[in-house]
Amino acid sequence: MKDILVFLSPAVCRDNLSRGGHYAIDLARTYGAHLSALIADIESDLGDLAPQPDIRQVGTTTASKSTLSSERVARTAELVQSAATDANIPCDILQSENQSISLRERIIHFTQMHDMLILDVRGSLDSPRKELVEAALFGGGRPIVFVPPNTALVANNRIVVAWDGTRSAVRAVHDALPLLVKSREVLVVSVIDDKLFSTPHSGHALCRYLTRWEVDAKFSAIRRETLNIGTTLLACARHAGADLIVMGAFAHGFERALMLGSATRDIFEARIEIPVLLSH
């Protein structure tokens, strides 16, 4: 892992660097990686979409909102640069050469040129942040790590890998390998009462594969009963005392997800308590 991208909203950072910012810096320090920060006020950049509650500016004119946004972006850049300097890691603030390019296009382009994207989440993922996440997942080709408030710094003591044998799950495992090899323990879990597995024992096979990477991996089959899959995985991770969940995103495509539901959508709608790494 050589280059980590963090997306920061100045509204989330306010006068202190957000949890996602601190998490990204600690990850870069742990892996000796370069940190890149993309800072944008989602409300002003995506004004045609419903604003997220914690970044809504009420009762201001367009001009004053623009000025306020620029000031907050500059302040957030100062915060992340200062924190990176204190952590002794290289950091740069990303700027688009073409300012007419939309934030959606920028986040796709920058995600493609980094090892992973770190993103703050607070409660359920709503517009316009949800659209940016989906754009990065489908267009960026790199994993995204959701970081909720009050997240501890990168610990990697125990990681839960959600395994269902799909392409997206395989992609997530390989994208997360730098994290898995540094973890104390990996728990591979499959929700077995949700669907039939084409290869029933692939969870054990995955653990054998990870052992060759010197990863202490164990397999566990769990049942969701009346819960949705996402809630089941979050409960499993909480019970295991995990620091991170690794899972594939939208393994069956939007059409099937709309009809049958999706573990990814469950995570989007949940109030997560630990970081979640998603790959598509």
Task: Give the separation between CA 77 and CA 65, rounded to whole angstroms.
Answer: 18
| Interval 129-154: pLDDT, tens | 888 999 999 899 999 999 999 887 77
| Interval 9-31: pLDDT, tens | 887 777 789 999 999 999 999 99
pTM for this model (two decimals): 0.85
Read off the pLDDT band of 55 (50, 70, 90). very low
Q: Which fold has domain 158-279?
A: Rossmann fold (3.40.50)
Cβ-Cβ contacts under 8 Å for 229 (sequence gap 6 or more): 191, 194, 261, 263, 266
DSSP symbols for 61-90 = -HHHHHHHHHHHHHHHHHHHHHHHHHTT--
CATH number (3.90.1640.10, 3.40.50.620, 3.50.50.100, 3.40.50.150) of 3-147 reads 3.40.50.620
Q: Would you state the pLDDT for residue 240?
A: 93
Same fold, 3-147 and 158-279: yes
Whether 236 has a pLDDT exceeding 70, the answer reads yes
Which backbone phi and psi does 204 adopt, to 5 degrees? -65, -40
Quick one: average pLDDT of 193-222?
86
Q: Which two tokens stand for residue 91?
A: 């950091």
Read off the pLDDT band of 195 (50, 70, 90). low
Task: Give the separation between CA 8 and CA 30, rounded to whole angstroms.
Answer: 20
Helices 62-86, 19-31: crossing angle, 10 deg rounding: 30
| Interval 78-118: pLDDT, tens | 999 999 999 999 999 997 655 678 899 999 999 999 999 99
* Distance (Å) of CA 271 to CA 66, 72, 77, 122: 31, 26, 27, 7
Contact 33, 178 (CB under 8 A): no
User: 251 or 33: whose pLDDT is higher?
Assistant: 33
pLDDT, the chain, mean: 84
Read off the pLDDT band of 159 (50, 70, 90). very high
Least Cα distance to 246 among 164, 160, 117 occurs for 160
Whether 187 has a pLDDT exceeding 80, the answer reads yes
Q: Would you state the pLDDT for residue 54?
A: 45
Percent of the chain with pLDDT over 70: 82
Domain spans, the chain: 3-147, 158-279
Whether 7 has a pLDDT exceeding 50, the answer reads yes
Q: Would you state the pLDDT for residue 261?
A: 47
Task: Give the separation between CA 80 and CA 4, rounded to whole angstroms.
Answer: 13
